[in-house]
Structure 1
Amino acid sequence: MTRDRDRLAPRLYQQAADMLAQEISQGLLPRGTALTQKALAERFGISRSPARQALDELVRRGLLLRGASGRYSLSGQTADPGLSGRMPVPARLTQRSSWEGIYPEIELAIVSRTPLGCWRVNEAVLARHYGVSRTVARDVMGRLQNRGIIRKDDSGRWHAPALTAQHIDELYELRWLLEPVAMEKAVPNLPAGLLDAMSDELLAAMEGDAQRDSTLLDHLEQRLHVELLGHCRNEALVRAISLPQALLVTHQMLYQLTLELFGTEPFLSEHLEVINRLRRGDIDGARAALVAHLRISRRRAMLRIEAVQEMIQPDPLPYLERVDPPEPG
């Protein structure tokens, strides 16, 4: 399964491994240099976990050999303990200073697996996997919880609930109760021209092959359900809406895999109906159109999930473990 890495800097161990690989290919490391986790960690200013991952990655590439006592040597050479850690001037790595840098990848990794079942998320292993502190990992978990993606069980363990029919029903019921209220409150605060721009975007997407673009479809979902509703100026309501909108993250993955499931993308005309009623000042009609759209979307979401369950074969991740759903508290 393809993961979205475009917004992320390479992991620290990958950066360190790539720099060392380049130095090895250029002959910049003295013959017989013995590399250690400690030396690599000190050189790049990283912890020993990503340092070990970098060295092991170079072993996999055939550039290093793993020796005794945690030392590594250039492939085909004998390590000289006296040359341990004598490497070129330290290079600068792109550090991830906060949770925002790794969050999108983690969110997508978890949500894209929920059609397959319930998953336990191990905070400590997540921190080691990304080479970040427990504080950063805890911030990630907090954001996931706020987004409704993970929950804590009675034992204090984090779980990402499976996207079962019951769970989908619960999330969509919240959406059609809350989103029309937020939309009505948002209307007086909408920037001039926003509704016209959204209408034009939807009409353009309904022409030709534009609606076969999963990135565009995700953008249009965000425009109505996040951007427009975000103008309601009721922070408590916006936070409440964000809980069931974890579904929108799932839709991003589902669109990529099921674009051929429907002859045309039905939500485009449904969004257009909502927007056009708002443009005419028909708030009650817009509310009704939004509820109708969400009720229909619930069934389409289940059809998409059922369609992809046989397609998804995600790579294993050390911080995720598939488990039986936790007993309700």
Structure 2
Amino acid sequence: MVRTSKAAQTSQSKAIEKPTEEFIYTELYNTICERQLLPKTKLGEAMLAEHYGVSRTIIRQVLQRLAGDRLVKLEPNRGAFVAHLTLKEAQQIYEAWRLVEAAIIREVVKTITPEQIASLRKLITAERKACDAEDYPLLTRLSMQFHTQLANLCSNQFLSRFLKELIPQTALAYFYEVKKMPVCMKDEHGEILDLIESGDEEAAVAAAKRHLDGIEAALNAQASLDQQASLVDKLKLRVPSLS
């Protein structure tokens, strides 16, 4: 009788292991935040269940969680859709972002350590590499991460939590393809960090405001959208072996 070694059995088990709810949630969360899925895109339970090789119950739980994050809208008798914002709602989000981040920066200027500055500089370096490589999904994720990592340095947990909940909502405010998104050529995050490191509180706040003003101004930009691609094509995801 042929026996399979324990190592081979473990390898086979990993190869057929299905993605967990957390894995699928993270993939969809990131895909929406990276703006690879347009607002109002339908998230069909059956299609997603087939795509990931899991039950519709797991997909339903994932969609409920994303709805709790306000990234997905659940409509009775219609299903789940990527949420969307009106231009006015988007402008209100950026107004709130400017106010909260200004308060965070004023505190962080007084408390930031060399180690924290080094960590943020490493993130900015990765962001510039993504920009040079025209990897717009990664660039979008790293750009958001800069602001959330800055928020993490704030000792006021309510300011920090509010900003980290607010930032992902901006992914629902863009009305053009990822590849046509405007990308700041200046290293604006680097400028903000330089001013924080120098201790110039007001200049750092002003630089952050200019940065967000520029992003908000792009909300008025319109570009043709690729409505023909299927949801699976838009996801551009593969379910890897969870080894």
TM-score, length basis structure 1: 0.51
1:297 is aligned, of 215, 218, 226, to 215
Structure 1 counterpart of 2:188: 270
How many Å apart are 1:280 and its aligned residue? 0.9
Q: Deviations over 1:267-305 (max 9, x none)?
A: x432222111101111222122212211211122442xx
SS in structure 2 at match of 1:193: helix
Greater RCO (Cα-Cα under 8 Å, separation 6 or more): 2
| CA separation of 1:215 and 1:310: change in aligned 2, threshold 3 A | closer
Structure 2 distance, partners of 1:192, 1:253, is 39
SS in structure 2 at match of 1:136: helix
Structure 2 counterpart of 1:315: 230
Q: Is 1:172 the equivalent of 2:90?
A: no
- CA contact 1:175–1:244 (8 Å) conserved in 2: yes
- CA contact 1:148–1:242 (8 Å) conserved in 2: no
Structure 2 counterpart of 1:112: 36
How many Å apart are 1:180 and its aligned residue? 2.3
Alignment of 1:21-170 (within 5 A): 92=13, 93-96=16-19, 98-107=20-29, 108=31, 112-115=36-39, 118-119=40-41, 121=43, 126-127=48-49, 130-133=52-55, 136-152=58-74, 158-170=80-92
| CA separation of 1:206 and 1:161: change in aligned 2, threshold 3 A | closer
Structure 2 distance, partners of 1:169, 1:241, is 15
Structure 1 distance, partners of 2:51, 2:112, is 42
- CA contact 1:275–1:286 (8 Å) conserved in 2: yes
Query: Which structure is larger by alpha-carbon Rg, 1 or 2?
Result: 1
Alignment of 1:218-229 (within 5 A): 218=140, 220-229=142-151
Unaligned runs of 5+ in 2: 1-11, 233-243
Alignment of 1:229-308 (within 5 A): 229-247=151-169, 256-258=178-180, 265-266=184-185, 268-303=186-221, 306-307=222-223
Unaligned runs of 5+ in 1: 1-90, 318-329
| CA separation of 1:109 and 1:148: change in aligned 2, threshold 3 A | closer
- CA contact 1:146–1:243 (8 Å) conserved in 2: no
- CA contact 2:74–2:80 (8 Å) conserved in 1: yes
TM-score, length basis structure 2: 0.65
- CA contact 1:113–1:314 (8 Å) conserved in 2: no
Structure 2 distance, partners of 1:182, 1:136, is 37
Greater share of helix: 2
Structure 2 distance, partners of 1:248, 1:109, is 10
Q: Deviations over 1:80-131 (max 9, x none)?
A: xxxxxxxxxxx531122x322112433326953435xx34556677556644
Structure 2 distance, partners of 1:203, 1:310, is 30
SS in structure 2 at match of 1:245: helix
Structure 1 counterpart of 2:241: none
Percent of pairs with identical residues:
23
